[in-house]
Structure 1
Amino acid sequence: MESGRASAGAMEAALNRLQKLALHLGSEAGFESSPLSAEPTAARLSEKHSQLRVEKLQAFLAGSYKVDKERIYAFFQNHPELQTPVEISKVEHRELAYKQMKALVQEGGLKPLTLLMTDPAKYYNVFEAIGTVDLSLSIKMGVQYSLWGGSVVNLGTQKHKDKYAVAIETLEAPGCFAMTELHHGSNVQGVQTTATYDIARQEFVINTPNEGATKWWIGNAACHGKFATVFARLKLPSAKSHIDEDMGVHAFIVPIRSLEDHKVLPGVEIRDCGYKVGLNGVDNGALRFRNVRIPRENLLNRFGDVAPDGTYSSPLPSASKRFAATLGELVGGRVGLAYGSVAVLKAASTIAIRYSSVRQQFGPPGEPEIAILDYQSQQLKLMPMLASSYAFYFAADYLVKRYAEMKMTHDEAIVADVHALSAGLKAHITAYTAKSLSVCREACGGHGYAAVNRFGALRNDHDIFLTFEGDNTVLLQQVAADLLKQYKEKFSGGALAVTWLYLRQQMATYTSQTNPVATHRGSAEHLRDPTFQLNAFRYRTATLLHTAALRLRKHSARLGSFQAWNRCLNHLLTLAESHIESVILAKFVESYKRCQDPEARSALKTLCDLYALERIWKNIGSFRNEDYVAPSKAKAIQRQVELLCYEVRGMSGQLVDAFGIPDSMLRAPIGLKTGQYAEYSSMIGW
């Protein structure tokens, strides 16, 4: 008995010492562990942000493009017959999407190709609003203007712009972008379609040499396209042998249907790819070519030209340079997908958060039910998603500005930056959004399953974003390869010990936090300091980069470069994700700091803290393995994530309102600002 009391006393004393140690190391005192105890629902937090004016935050987010988005919204509000119904067949959806596009251009006065060439930032903002109306419409317009139109104006020369630009703008020349083949998706250099030059007739002969070379998933091909930009291997007669010389992949304008009667032209075969998981307003088709002749002028010749006598010329010295320049001009598609994916995440977050704030379930014994958004589990699902919506928006906005700068300057360094950044952001944002759509559906229970509430349509339509413009796994490898290239250039010629020493010197600003005191610091002030957050993200990225380089060098000596890359592939994908998250956080910090309204800036800072700490907590194993974070600090980070979710919940209604999506465009009864249940009931006739 005495022994038991002594043991209990010793345990109590040990616990007291641990508590004092935690306080000494900076753990928070007075943390409210149960947000559900707050009464009334989120009242204190709403009080804290009572001065947060939605219009100020909305203006900061929309920048100078608020009016452009509102014009798109107003156009569809004034044309209810153009809004996409919940239930619609594939055939009807395709015709409606084409009708919507024509109405925007011919009645609404929209000039997408002009915007793409003169003001890319406005172009992407307009397309965000269009995507809110119907993702099929935005993708169909993207095929017409970003891909078909963009390939003509970016890969062609002035003669092509003079001949086609106006007709593309007005939809007199609807077109396709025929790059992907049945056997070749991301590996564009491997396409097999051929374009053989006939000197006698000064024409290119387009052929599909085998089944695998069939152009596949070509938007606008099944129904509406009259032209296609076809990517094919340029074959020129060789003076030295009977075998044509392969000059690599080039782009050609190929008519596929008659301008007069829309009939498929001789030598062209078109098939319908059929019903898809989503985006059934887009008419994807398959194309084959049998000795289709086109004039020499139909070669898009900005980076490579063929003279009448078959002589090849190019301003670039090699096939690899030409190919890189060609793909570099087409990077706008990735920019648009990253930006568009953010719009989908904002819409889904709005629906789920608004519904969760009115849906009541259970509560303390003998007291009224509480909103499900007051449950910590619901907050941990939705509040990091809301923070990510803002984080991704600022990163995508930065990407759009860099893209616009690239188009103006053609600076090689900016081109390289946009190429890697667009690949990483497109992959990271679309993957996160895809997962979040399922989380939103589940978070809204049975009502999230109703088609009218849009989670199913958004999830299905967005799903292909993970594959569009390059499979995400391939794109992340491009990011990793770019990081390793920079790493190699920086440390070229240095011994491993020297390299590691230099790396640590370069990392001095954030490796200093690995000292015993810093690794235990868990105060709110420290954890919510952007310097700590950025340093943590960058430390993880730098460590992953260095260890990836070491592993690749080790395996390459024994396995060769290809197998070494494959052996380290998961490591490299993690490296790319870590780098992109660092970029996103850096842009979030920059963005909230430039916000002039103090209440809006405070709200953005809270969101940024949640984004940063939730990501650190998700990857806490990495930081623990490197002794960057002690166990006590890890627990403090977890507590801060829970507290920040609670704080963001208190202003979540204002934060989603600031996205500026009108109820008429959101079109989900449970996602409306008011009257959710009344609107929902009316959908079944009550």
Structure 2
Amino acid sequence: MRVHSVKLMKKMDLIRDLPKGPLEVYRKRATFNWKSMRINLLGEDLVRYQKKLWNYIESSPEFQRPVKTISLDETRRRCYKQLNSLIKNDILPIDHPGWFNYLFFYDASLPVVTGITQGMVPSVIFSLGTNRHGEILEKIQEGKYTSCFALTEIAHGTNIRGMLTTAKYDPRTESFIFHSPNFESAKCWAGALGKAATHAIVYAQLITPDNENHGLHPFIVQIRDPKTFLPMPGITVGDMGEKVALNGVDNGFLMFNHYSVPRINLLNKNADVTKEGKYVAQIKDRSKLFGASLGALSTGRVTITMIGTMYITLATVIAIRYVAARKQFGPSAKEEYPVIEYQVQQGRLFPHLASMYAMTVFSHMFVRKSREFQIDMLTSDDKELISTKGLEIHALSSAAKPLCTWTARDAIQDCREACGGHGYLKVSRLGDIRSENDANCTYEGENNVLIQQASNWLLSQWANVSQGKKVASPLGSASFLEGANQILSLKFNCSSIDQTMQLENLLIAFKWLTCYYLKKTYERVHRLKQNGNGNFEARNDSQTYFARTLTLVYAEHAIIQTFCHRIQDPEFKDDERLVLTKLCSLYAGWSLERRLGDLYAGGYASPDSKIDILLREGIIAISKDLVKDAVALVDVVAPPDFILNSPLGMSDGEIYKHLEKSFLKNPENLQRPSWWQEISRSKL
């Protein structure tokens, strides 16, 4: 035990001490050591990488923040300059690709461009390409080519089956002829496409010489000359202009005019076309072929669950440090309390603190599982398992991505409001965080559409349950459905607050909710079909109050289940496990409280069960208990002050000192405007 403690102490030396200040009073009250918790929650390797990354950013000229707002062109130039600096100095993590998401703590545009050019594109080529694509991949990795991922079209986003761009094979030239029939078919929103990309992974409808359309397939396509960065003949490519946020990312549009692409540029891991024009699929079942492709395409959505975690972390760190240092009102005119002591602030912020921890645990697990799936696609011969895993990853990412990004959206807004007027200042960074996260709700699949895709997979699992078949859930997110009939017979029987807030009881309630909504939605779809509706109409008319809620409850269960499992890790000390258990209970209880109507209506809770009172009192009690640990809990996940870059959330808690510094930083703030003579309506 002593040896373990000595090793832990050495690991904790990796983490900077925090400065003294107004927050010290709460740090002294904490029930656990925040440095130890960071090591055990994130792992020594990640903590070491964070130290390397933070130190490099803080000391490098390319990463020093501009005093004034810079132009759109300069913003993009700055982003690529920083990316090249990270690559040149070997800062990007190769063995742990999910770690680059911690760049979101510094500036969101940089990891978006990094993820696309250094992660997503190479990953897709690895997963869906073969040896014949090695040279292109090598040049991308060497930086001789710049790449992007072009799937979305102007008139079709999440509905990937409806894409209009065609790639018709010509056996005479052994090439695919790419064509965009109209502007609606223009590829768009692809990051790095606007100015930088020389090559793009393009998804197009593959048509063989017999005019048979074999559906959407991926190609690696040259779109610009790497020597001049001018478009290739037959290519129209441009920038989409300034956005609400993420302006370091050059989102672009792309059109083809009968543009010839060599046959070998088809990413042919799962399907190929011979020189003569014969279509050959490695996976004969088209739905399974589609399932394998979906798994590869889900990488972006999986990553966004972690991106949402980065944003909610930033906002929560800023807000909780602010409310712990900010004093307002009190029991007497001479005494002011830190506003964290007020129940309304606890009820507003602490569920988001709990959500942040739950999302942190879940997103790290999910990114790891997705990475393992990418490796399986390269090494495994079990096509059936690959397809099944791909479909589950697609479903879980289509559920978790909306839940996590919406949770972050709501948390950021509450954090902004909790910081009052100061939170509305741009220097608080909360407005930028809000705008940056907003993109998460639409890219890589608009949330409401993704929810429908997840519910479709869940409904197919209920069909297996009804027929006594095994539930196809190799990741375990839905394996509990095999006991659905027994789960649906359960009743809420807790008689105390403590019993109600126990993790096993909260998890059972979410299993019941998922089964309840799955059965309810399945019966709704079946009833609509019996009334003469087609499959499309039945699914469409069973979303609101049915499939939509089902998907979100399924995602909540998956996150809670993952958190519960992670808490049992023996690496955690007893005091760490205790506070993590409180956070998990708070997240689960807070999520469950919003479903009280379903618990009563579905018969899980009887009218006299008092589940509403027990849950709400439990949420209030845990929130009050977490006051002493809240500052230490955000210290666990907070980046250094230079990275956080918010005067409201600095680690010393000296809000007003840092606000004053920010006001005085730009000399123009103290100067009269150049148009001062235009202010007065009277002539002097």
Change over 3 Å in CA distance of 1:172–1:504 after alignment to 2? closer
* Of 629, 637, 641, the match for 2:619: 641
614, 639, 646: which one pairs with 1:668? Answer: 646
Farther-moved stretch of structure 1 (197-206 vs 407-416): 407-416
Contact 2:62 2:78 in 1 (8 A): no
2:231 is the counterpart of 1:264: yes
Question: 1:623/1:42 Cα in 2 relative to 1: closer, same or farther (>3 Å)?
Answer: farther
Give 1:55 deviation, angstroms. Answer: 1.0
Q: In the alignment, does 2:448 pair up with 1:473?
A: yes
Alpha carbons of structure 1 residues 45 and 683: separation in structure 2 relative to 1, 3 Å:
closer
Deviation at 1:381, TM superposition (A): 0.8
- Counterpart mapping for 1:59-138 below 5 A: 59-63=39-43, 64-85=45-66, 87-106=69-88, 108-110=89-91, 115=94, 119=95, 122-125=96-99, 127-138=100-111
CA positional deviation for 1:374: 1.2
The alpha-carbon distance between structure 1 residues 505 and 315, as it changes in their structure 2 partners (threshold 3 A), is: closer
Name the structure 1 match of 2:16. none
**Deviation, structure 1 residue 652:** 0.4
Q: CA deviation at 1:148?
A: 2.4
1:564 aligns with 2:543: no
Structure 1 contact 268–289 (Cα < 8 Å) conserved:
yes
Q: 2:526 aligns with which of 535, 539, 553?
A: 553
**Structure-to-structure mapping, 1:301-320, within 5 angstroms:** 301-320=268-287
Match of 1:573 among 538, 548, 563: 548
Show the counterpart of 2:6: none
Report whether the alignment pairs 1:605 with 2:581. yes
Is the Cα–Cα contact under 8 Å of residues 357 and 371 in structure 1 kept in the other structure? yes
In the TM superposition, residue 593 of structure 1 has moved relative to its aligned partner by 2.1
* Cα shift at 1:44: 11
1:434-453 matches, within 5 Å, as 434-453=409-428
Distance 1:237 1:509 in 2: 54
Supply the AA of the counterpart residue of 2:76. R
| Distance in structure 2 (CA, Å) of the matches to 1:81 and 1:543 | 54
Q: In the alignment, which residue of structure 2 is the partner of 1:13?
A: none
2:348·2:414 contact (CA, 8 Å) conserved in 1? yes
CA distance in structure 2 between the aligned counterparts of 1:45 and 1:81, rounded to whole angstroms: 36
Matched, 1:652 2:619: no
Q: Using a 3 Å threshold, how does the CA distance of structure 1 residues 211 and 143 change in structure 2: closer, same or farther?
A: same
Distance 1:488 1:227 in 2: 43
Which residue of structure 2 lines up, in the alignment, with residue 456 of structure 1?
A: 431
Alpha-carbon spacing, 1:493–1:528, altered in 2? closer, same or farther (3 Å): closer
Q: Is the 8 A contact 1:269 1:287 kept in 2?
A: yes
Structure 1 unaligned spans of 5+ = 1-40, 239-243, 495-501
Instruction: In structure 2, give the amino acid aligned to 1:328.
Output: G
- Aligned mates of 1:249, 1:414 — CA distance in 2: 20
For 1:48-447, list aligned pairs within 5 A.
Answer: 50-63=30-43, 64-85=45-66, 87-106=69-88, 108-110=89-91, 115=94, 119=95, 122-125=96-99, 127-160=100-133, 162-238=134-210, 244-410=211-377, 411-412=385-386, 413-447=388-422
Contact 2:293 2:390 in 1 (8 A): no
- Give ranges in structure 2 of 5+ residues lacking alignment: 1-21, 378-384, 470-479, 666-684
The 1:417–1:504 alpha-carbon spacing in structure 2 relative to 1, beyond 3 Å, is closer
Offset of residue 493 of structure 1:
8.2
Q: Give the Cα–Cα distance (whole angstroms) in 2 for the partners of residues 307 and 573 of structure 1.
A: 43
Equivalent residue for 1:32? Answer: none
Q: For the structure 1 residues 522 and 592, does the alpha-carbon distance in structure 2 shift closer, same or farther, using more than 3 Å as the test?
A: same
- Tell me the CA shift for residue 77 of structure 1: 0.9
Q: Which residue of 2 aligns with 1:681?
A: 660
Once the two structures are superposed, residues 299-348 of structure 1 have per-residue CA deviations (whole angstroms, 9 ceiling, x without a partner) of: 11112212222122121114443333223212211111111110111111
Q: Does the C-alpha gap of structure 1 residues 401 and 222 become closer, same or farther in structure 2, counting only changes over 3 Å?
A: closer
Indicate the larger mover: 299-308 or 573-582: 299-308
Give, in angstroms, the shift of residue 596 of structure 1: 2.8
Give the direction of change, closer, same or farther, for the CA distance of 1:503–1:165 in structure 2 (3 Å limit).
Answer: closer
Q: Which has the larger radius of gyration?
A: 1
Q: Deviations over 1:183-235 (max 9, x none)?
A: 11011111111112221121221111122111111211111111111111112
Please say if residues 111 and 169 of structure 1, whose CA atoms lie closer than 8 Å, have aligned partners that are also in contact. Answer: no
1:44-95 C-alpha deviation (Å, 9 max, x unpaired): 9978x64400011101221132112222111101114324547232211111
Q: Corresponding residue for 1:36?
A: none
Decide which moves more: 537-546 or 631-640: 631-640
- Conserved 8 A contact 2:202-2:221: yes
Give how far 1:627 is off: 4.1
Partner of 1:671, secondary structure, is: coil
Relative to structure 1, the CA distance from residue 503 to residue 346 in structure 2 (aligned partners, 3 Å threshold; closer, same or farther) is: closer
How well do the aligned residues superpose, as a CA RMSD in angstroms?
A: 2.3
Name the SS of the counterpart of 1:670 in structure 2.
coil
In structure 1, the residue corresponding to 2:249 is in which secondary structure?
A: coil
How far did 1:392 drift? 0.9
Are 2:610 and 1:632 aligned? yes
Letter of the structure 2 residue corresponding to residue 354 of structure 1: R
Amino acid in structure 1 at the alignment position of 2:97: Y
Rounded to whole Å, the distance in 1 between the matches of 2:540 and 2:263 is: 42
Determine the C-alpha separation between the residues in 1 that align with 2:636 and 2:462: 41
Equivalent residue letter for 1:653: V
Q: How far off is 1:380 after superposition?
A: 0.8
Q: In 2, distance between residues paired with 1:172 and 1:447?
A: 46
Secondary structure, counterpart of 2:172 in structure 1? coil
* Paired AA for residue 196 in structure 1: K
**Preserved contact between residue 522 and residue 637 of structure 1 (Cα < 8 Å):** no
1:536-584 CA distance string (max 9 Å, x none): 1111111111111111111111122222222211110101111111111
Candidates 500, 508, 531, aligned match of 1:527 = 500
Counting aligned pairs with the same residue, the percent is 30
Report whether the alignment pairs 1:622 with 2:605. Answer: no
| Cα gap change, 1:583 to 1:539, in 2 (>3 Å) | same
**Normalising to structure 2: TM-score of the pair?**
0.86
Change (3 A) 1:42 1:211: closer
Counterpart CA distance in 1 for 2:58 and 2:503 is 42
Pairwise CA distance, 1:425: 1.3
User: How far apart are 1:640 and its partner, in Å?
Assistant: 1.4
Task: Report whether the alignment pairs 1:488 with 2:488.
Answer: no
The worse-fitting range, judged by mean Cα deviation, of 586-595 and 179-188 is: 586-595
Residue 667 (structure 1) shift: 0.6
| Counterpart residue identity of residue 90, structure 1 | L
2: CA distance between counterparts of 1:505 and 1:586? 16
Q: Distance in 2 between matches of 1:504 and 1:321?
A: 23
Cα-to-partner distance string for 1:583-633 (whole Å, 9 max, x where unaligned): 111111111222530111111011111112111222211112234333633
What displacement does 1:525 show? 2.6
Distance 2:481 2:109 in 1: 47
Contact 1:150-1:330 at 8 Å conserved across structures = no
SS in 2 for 1:205: strand
TM-score, length of structure 1 as denominator length: 0.86
Give, as a single letter, the amino acid of the residue that structure 1 aligns with 2:215: G
- Give distance in 2, aligned partners of 1:604 and 1:447: 31
CA distance 1:565–1:683, change in 2 (3 Å): same
**Which protein has the bigger helix share?**
1
Query: Would the aligned equivalents of 1:278 and 1:462 in 2 still touch at CA under 8 Å?
Result: no
> Deviation string for 1:394-449 (max 9, x for gaps)?
11122123223323334434333322222211111011111211111111111111
The change in CA–CA distance for 1:563 and 1:124 in structure 2 (over 3 A counts) is same
